[in-house]
Amino acid sequence: MKNLKAAWSVIWRVAVCGLLLLWIFHSIFLNEGKLAAQTAGRNWQGMSRADQWHWAWTNGPRDLWHTLCMTRLWALVASTAVVGLALFIGVIRWRVVLEAQGLHLSLARATRISLVAQFFNSFLLGSTGGDLIKAYAAAQETHHKKTEAVTTVFVDRMVGLWAMLLFAALMMPPNYHLLRASGELAAPALLILAMLGALSVVLGLAFWGGVSKRFPRARHQLRRLPKGPVLERALDSCRQFGSQPHFLFKTVAVSLFLNLLWVVQVSILGQGLSLSIPTVALLVIVPIIFCVAALPITPNGLGVRENLFVLMLAVIAVPRTAALSLSLIASAEGLFWSLVGGLVYMGLRESEPLAQITHGQPVAAVENEPE
| Mean pLDDT of the region 125-144 | 70
Q: Does residue 295 lie in a domain region?
A: yes
Q: Which amino acid is it at 304? A: V
Same domain, 264 and 332: yes
Same domain, 176 and 291: yes
Same domain, 240 and 209: yes
Cβ(52)–Cβ(30) below 8 Å = yes
Q: Which residue has the higher pLDDT, 263 or 219?
A: 263
Long-range contacts of 50-57 (CB under 8 A, 24+ apart): 53/26, 56/26, 56/29, 56/30, 56/32, 57/26, 57/29, 57/33
Neighbours of 233 (CB within 10 A): 20
Q: What is the pLDDT of residue 159?
A: 93
Query: What does the alpha-carbon distance between residue 106 and residue 24 come to, in Å, rounded to a whole number?
Result: 31
Same domain, 198 and 261: yes
CA–chain centroid gap for 369, Å, is 30
Same domain, 85 and 30: no
Q: What is the pTM of this model?
A: 0.75
Please state, for a pLDDT cut of 70, what percent of the chain lies above it: 78
Cβ(101)–Cβ(317) below 8 Å = no
Least confidently predicted of 115-124, 159-168, 240-249, 282-291: 115-124
pLDDT at 260 exceeding the cut of 90: yes
Supply the range of the domain harboring residue 48: 1-70
Same domain, 77 and 63: no
Q: Does residue 368 lie in a domain region?
A: no
Q: Does residue 339 lie in a domain region?
A: yes
| Mean pLDDT of the region 249-257 | 94
